[in-house]
Every structure is written in structure tokens, then in C-alpha cells.
């Protein structure tokens, strides 16, 4: 895998992570909109908790993808999982 292919792969991973983060954030916000009083019914509390966990996980994946891309662009560091394909 040459540098151009690595950059392409990291870009694809970053765009996927961005889309997942946006979807998770949108889902979380939609659930919050369903509870206009701010006091969800009992199963609503669990839905909010689950959506929050997914939103945080998606954000973490986005930060990881950004860090991988930054390291590659700034320092030329190739992620270990992509070195094997080189």
C-alpha cells in the first residue's frame, strides 16, 4: 500500500466516522426532543442513556480517525493496521 492509498483509506475512515458521529448526535437530539417537559417516562430514560453512550462512542471513533489522519499528514506515521498491508 503506497502513501496515496494510505491517505485514501484514512480519508474514507474519517468520513465514515464523521457520518456515524453525526447520525448518533442526531438520534440523541431527536430523543431529547421527544421529551419536551424534560422528564422522560421510565423507558425513555434508558433510551436517552443508550443514545448518549452511542453518541460518546461515535465521537471517540471520530477523534481516533482524526488523530490517525493528523499523525499521517504531520509526521508521516502509518497506522499499524495499515503497515501490514504495505
**Domain-wise residue ranges, the chain:** 3-83
| Predicted pLDDT of residue 33 | 85
| Alpha helix (H) residue ranges in 34-74 | 42-70
pLDDT (tens, 9 = 90+) of the chain, 86 residues, equals 899 999 999 999 999 999 999 999 999 999 888 877 766 677 788 888 999 999 999 999 999 999 999 999 999 999 999 987 55
Residue 86, all three cell numbers: 504495505
| Predicted pLDDT of residue 12 | 98
Contacts of 40 (CB under 8 A, 6+ apart): 34, 47, 48
Compute the distance between CA of residue 33 and CA of residue 18 in angstroms, rounded to an integer: 22
User: Does residue 26 contact residue 53 with C-beta atoms inside 8 Å?
Assistant: no
pTM of the model: 0.85
Amino acid at each position: 500500500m503506497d502513501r496515496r492509498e494510505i491517505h485514501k483509506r484514512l480519508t474514507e475512515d474519517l468520513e465514515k466516522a464523521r457520518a456515524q458521529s453525526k447520525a448518533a448526535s442526531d438520534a440523541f437530539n431527536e430523543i431529547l426532543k421527544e421529551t419536551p417537559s424534560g422528564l422522560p417516562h421510565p423507558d425513555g430514560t434508558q433510551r436517552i442513556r443508550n443514545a448518549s453512550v452511542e453518541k460518546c462512542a461515535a465521537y471517540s471513533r471520530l477523534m481516533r480517525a482524526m488523530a490517525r489522519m493528523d499523525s499521517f499528514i504531520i509526521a508521516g506515521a502509518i497506522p499499524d493496521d495499515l503497515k501490514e498491508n504495505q
